[in-house]
Chain A
Amino acid sequence: MAKLPVSIEALTKGFGPHTAQSIGKRVETGIEPDRVVNTHCCFCGQQCGIQLKVKENEVIGFEPRDSFPFNQGMLCPKGVKRYLQGSHPDRLLTALERNSESSSGFIPIDYNKAIERTAKEITRIQSSFGADAFAILSGASLTTEKTYLMGKFARICLKTANIDYNGRLCMVSAAAGNKKAFGIDRAANPWSDIPKAEVVWISGANIAECAPITTNYVWQARENGAKIIVVDPRITPIARTCHLFLPVKPGRDVALFNGILHLMIEHNWINHEFINSHTVGFEAVAQHVKEWTPKKTAEVTGIAEKLIRKAAELWGRAESSFLLHARGIEHHSHGVENVLGAINIVLASGRIGREGCGYATITGQGNGQGGREHGQKCDQLPGGRDISNPEHRAYIAKVWGVNPDELPQAGVDAYEIMRKIERGEIRGLLTICFNPKVSLPDNNFVTRALEKLEFYAAIDFFLNETAHHADIVLPGSLHEEDEGVVTQIEGRVIKINKVVDPPGDAKQDWKIIQDIAKSLGRERGFTFSTPAEIFQELRIASKGGIADYSGITYDRIEQQNGIFWPCPSEEHTGTVRLFEEGSFNPIAKGNGRFYFPDGKARFNLALYKPPAEDVDEEFPIILTTGRVVSHFLSGTQTRRIGPLVDQTPSPFVEIHPRLADRLGIKNGDMTTVVSRRGEITIKAQIVNTIRPDTVFIPYHWPGKQSANQLTIAAQDPISKIPEYKVCAVKLFRAEQ
């Protein structure tokens, strides 16, 4: 039974979120730090370089790290205050066992007892209900070494097919689209190409709040004369001063891309030579977009026709360009179609694989890129390999010293794991670096599912809202307490350095996993003594795969400020820009630039479908969700950092004044937003920077403040990403 042991209020009292402030050593100006360590921010996919100041094994502050080329000292507010997550009052210092007699719902227990109990429960559940009845949910903020180990642990220690990760809520649509079109899933260009582009197209990316450092790259492009096109239902800070703002109706991005391609073809703003020699499938796509006339595109997307024409002309006539997109087009039940639509206009322009001609998705999580490459995804093995491909299975089985037949087949995605739990098919769960009770859509369902678990073990450094349901909590490590690599937004593999030791009984996460393996009596393959050893095996495991890390070493990363994969040998400099003539490509092997045997990129039909839940008379307003700059994802860390909480203390709903007028809602009024799945009552913010048919709520908060009570669990059929960006709601002023 994984119902909450005590009330939410009691759990919160015991385990937070309490907020850390700059006090004591952190505001003293007479302290010389013991050391200042070069590392990276623990939050988003940009992985900005930062230096942390240490005094007596505590992080007491930061210094900008000007020498790291990506951010050159720049940081967003989260990066600035990240140091406050250390020495936090909520930090888990011991293992915990659920105990509803305890006022906080948990009692501290001996770490080894907690490991033994976890192993015992895993054995019990798997022997009674089969190996797949125990599932793992992992995360993409872990170092690549850890993500690799999680995949290996699931496949050869637990032998369960059911491992998936929170990148499922983040990067999978882009990944699937990129693989379909390019055969590889990585940003095609380094960010240094952005300022060299003549046109920068930004679709569904609130760059200023979700990838703030990228702003400077975009503004630099503008300084150099580039035209900036932004597609978003809201006038985000980056949209305010762009050249062309297309206020798209949520869920209609693919229609816009098809309409643009239609106009490009009509005006012959396409690169025939490139299309003929480097792509296949253009004819079918050209045929398909014929119906996407500007008029129809305008009707579907809600964007004025003249703007669509203008955008097509700017994009079509450009000599160089960079297209960026993010969750805004990916978080849809047709997220992959949206991505394919975007890629189609890039391929038709022929502007890729050259300096200043680029395309990329803006990865969300810290290790969103590296975390999706090495096997913690339900259908994937290390090196970006496919778990259903016999050759790939054979190679990895050999590295792991097992029989290929012993490897499980593909499991199900993170949300399906929840459904299986709810149906009783999965009985036990281990989570790390994932807070689905806040981050999954329709999270009232997620709560009901969690309540059915027979055994749930959570590894974390703070007790997140999902871990409230746990039977055993194992104290894991903070970002700054371990070392390892991550791959940032550009595909650059960088090194996280250990800054301080884990406090109390807390352990580095990979040690906890190995301790469970040992307690299960299956420690073969889980006897690494350092992250460096894991990385050595990962290099071998990735060798020959698309995400080839075999030429990367910790030393080389430090020397070169990161290395772009694929990097097949220690002599190879790494692949800074993909799809260049003659760049390393293990698939095409000289046949062409793209990662298919014939070396050609694929045009794919990008089919428009309305959102899974469109508006109707009862729920006439579109709800879209997203982030604010001061919080990160489910807020487990940022809701505990005082200055970030002060910056945005609670969620709000953005409403256009015209809609607000009709509903009689005034700025600051408590407003109830209701969907078919739940409701939320929060403050209204009346702003004319959002479409009048759409409202926006940021999603970082739990419980009654959680926007994901409203969102729909509709998923993309290919990527299985949930449709966070559109559902139907109604709203009214709450009784005061």
Chain B
Amino acid sequence: MGGSLRGLFYATAVTAIVAVAIVVGSRNLAHFDGALVGYTFAVLFAAFGITYRYSIWLQRPPTALYWRRGWQVFFRPKYLLHNIVHWPKRVFTDFAFNKFIFRRGRGRWIAHLLIMWGCLLAVAITFPLVFGWIHFETFADNLSWYRVYIFGFPTFSFPVYSIVGFFIFHGLVWASIIVICGVVIAMRRRLRDHAAGALQQFGEDFVPLILLFAVSVTGLMLTASYSWMKGSGYEFLAMLHAISVIFTLLWLPFGKFFHIFQRPAQLGVSFYKEVGKFEPKAKCRRCGEEFASQMHIQDLIEVEKQLGYRYEIGSGIEHYQWICPSCRRCLFAISQGKLWQ
């Protein structure tokens, strides 16, 4: 199967699974809210696009190799325990806390943390609702109590007019405010910072922020409309909100948002690097210094061959990849200097 064909296959499969999950989770659409059908199709499209792109991406030689190696080293019996111990730690520091972003800059970190957690909260609330995986029912005998149904199974209940109720029903408001704060910080940086100014692109860097802002603000306006303005302009706002959300969903596979799905691959790399530390080292075939794991160099040679590079060298070196970066720089100078002598 060709690369793109395979991508289509996976994308179709995943889209189908999501669709089935929606049908089943909503008890044959019994709890499905017809008004949200636009959202649902956007989600299905996003699932298709993301999976397709993910699949194509995974087929690139370096990615494929890392993907394979990542799992191999994770499950290698010698390191399995070590990996299992390290896994939650990495998840916590890198994903929950974004510690690496903290080191890149305080403002950047706060912005990312707010946007990330805001979005996660919003997604956790809306997706199950849209899919009909969660719904609320009042008690037959007590209209002021709600029961939460997940996948059609009854779970806990709570009074409508209570602190718990207030928080649950306004979850999206909190999410919006968090995201808006993050977006404002990020946007301010993008507008003021000379470094960002030089490198950023509208589609890549501004569109995602604008979309998140639009989704959050229109969502908040909906709440404002029905809470304080007696629903004035509600339908128009609902349409605006739907457009911004749907556009965001459709944008997921293309722009910067894709990193949300790509980034977890970092975990595989971290295992690869961890394991590489215990593996035999590659010694530079010019200076004799250790500079990487042998596994890494051999893998890179394989990848470069697949990509069509021909860095092979005779005279016992075999492949240029066996030369360390420092020697590469020296060779650059020596080869040029010789010509001048």
On whether the two chains bind one another, the answer is yes
| Residue A30, interface by CB 8 Å | yes
Complex interface bits, B184-199 against A, C-beta within 8 A gives 1, otherwise 0: 0000010011111000
Query: Quick check: B194 and A29 within 8 Å, CB to CB?
Result: yes
Query: Quick check: B340 and A30 within 8 Å, CB to CB?
Result: no
Q: Which B residues, 171 to 187, have Cβ-Cβ distances below 8 Å to chain A? A: none
Query: Quick check: B340 and A29 within 8 Å, CB to CB?
Result: no
By beta carbon, the residue of chain A nearest B193 is: A30
**Smallest beta-carbon distance B316→chain A, Å:** 28
Complex interface bits, A273-291 against B, C-beta within 8 A gives 1, otherwise 0: 0000000000000000000
A128–B195 Cα distance when bound, in Å, is 65
**Smallest beta-carbon distance B336→chain A, Å:** 12
**Smallest beta-carbon distance A255→chain B, Å:** 30
Complex interface bits, A35-76 against B, C-beta within 8 A gives 1, otherwise 0: 000000000000000000000000000000000000000000
**Smallest beta-carbon distance B253→chain A, Å:** 31
Q: Please report the number of residue pairs spanning A and B whose Cβ atoms sit closer than 8 angstroms.
A: 9
Query: Quick check: A241 and B192 within 8 Å, CB to CB?
Result: no
**Smallest beta-carbon distance A538→chain B, Å:** 42
A30–B191 Cα distance when bound, in Å, is 9
**Smallest beta-carbon distance A242→chain B, Å:** 12
Query: Quick check: A241 and B340 within 8 Å, CB to CB?
Result: yes
A29–B192 Cα distance when bound, in Å, is 8
Which chain B positions have C-beta within 8 A of A30? 189, 192-194
**Smallest beta-carbon distance A275→chain B, Å:** 38
Residues of A in contact (CB 8 Å), total 3
**Smallest beta-carbon distance B341→chain A, Å:** 9
Which chain A positions have C-beta within 8 A of B340? 241
Complex interface bits, A215-259 against B, C-beta within 8 A gives 1, otherwise 0: 000000000000000000000000001000000000000000000
Complex interface bits, A18-30 against B, C-beta within 8 A gives 1, otherwise 0: 0000000000011
Which chain A positions have C-beta within 8 A of B193? 29-30
Q: Which B residues, 194 to 233, have Cβ-Cβ distances below 8 Å to chain A? A: 194-196
Which chain B positions have C-beta within 8 A of A29? 193-196
A241–B194 Cα distance when bound, in Å, is 40
Which chain B positions have C-beta within 8 A of A241? 340
**Smallest beta-carbon distance A344→chain B, Å:** 34
Complex interface bits, B103-130 against A, C-beta within 8 A gives 1, otherwise 0: 0000000000000000000000000000
Q: Which B residues, 154 to 181, have Cβ-Cβ distances below 8 Å to chain A? A: none
**Smallest beta-carbon distance B108→chain A, Å:** 12
**Smallest beta-carbon distance A289→chain B, Å:** 34
A30–B105 Cα distance when bound, in Å, is 13
A30–B195 Cα distance when bound, in Å, is 8
**Smallest beta-carbon distance B111→chain A, Å:** 13
Which chain A positions have C-beta within 8 A of B195? 29
A29–B189 Cα distance when bound, in Å, is 9
Which chain A positions have C-beta within 8 A of B194? 29-30
**Smallest beta-carbon distance A394→chain B, Å:** 60
A30–B193 Cα distance when bound, in Å, is 4
A29–B194 Cα distance when bound, in Å, is 5
A30–B108 Cα distance when bound, in Å, is 13
By beta carbon, the residue of chain A nearest B194 is: A29
**Smallest beta-carbon distance A330→chain B, Å:** 32
**Smallest beta-carbon distance A201→chain B, Å:** 21
**Smallest beta-carbon distance B192→chain A, Å:** 4
By beta carbon, the residue of chain B nearest A241 is: B340
A30–B198 Cα distance when bound, in Å, is 12
By beta carbon, the residue of chain A nearest B196 is: A29
By beta carbon, the residue of chain A nearest B192 is: A30
Q: Which B residues, 257 to 271, have Cβ-Cβ distances below 8 Å to chain A? A: none
Complex interface bits, A461-494 against B, C-beta within 8 A gives 1, otherwise 0: 0000000000000000000000000000000000
A241–B336 Cα distance when bound, in Å, is 13
**Smallest beta-carbon distance A453→chain B, Å:** 51
A29–B104 Cα distance when bound, in Å, is 13
**Smallest beta-carbon distance B234→chain A, Å:** 40
Complex interface bits, B2-31 against A, C-beta within 8 A gives 1, otherwise 0: 000000000000000000000000000000
**Smallest beta-carbon distance A28→chain B, Å:** 8
A241–B333 Cα distance when bound, in Å, is 13
**Smallest beta-carbon distance A611→chain B, Å:** 35
By beta carbon, the residue of chain B nearest A30 is: B192
A241–B337 Cα distance when bound, in Å, is 9
**Smallest beta-carbon distance B191→chain A, Å:** 9
A30–B187 Cα distance when bound, in Å, is 12
By beta carbon, the residue of chain A nearest B191 is: A30
Most central of B189, B192, B196 by chain A CB within 10 Å: B192
**Smallest beta-carbon distance B18→chain A, Å:** 42
Which chain A positions have C-beta within 8 A of B189? 30
**Smallest beta-carbon distance A33→chain B, Å:** 11
**Smallest beta-carbon distance B287→chain A, Å:** 15
**Smallest beta-carbon distance A208→chain B, Å:** 16
A196–B195 Cα distance when bound, in Å, is 41
A30–B189 Cα distance when bound, in Å, is 8
Complex interface bits, B271-303 against A, C-beta within 8 A gives 1, otherwise 0: 000000000000000000000000000000000
Per CB-CB distance, the 9 closest pairs between chain A and chain B, nearest first, are: A30-B192, A30-B193, A29-B195, A29-B194, A29-B193, A30-B194, A30-B189, A241-B340, A29-B196
9 contacts between A and B (CB under 8 A): A29-B193, A29-B194, A29-B195, A29-B196, A30-B189, A30-B192, A30-B193, A30-B194, A241-B340
- A sample of 7 more A-B contacts (CB under 8 A), given A29-B194, A30-B189, is A29-B193, A29-B195, A29-B196, A30-B192, A30-B193, A30-B194, A241-B340
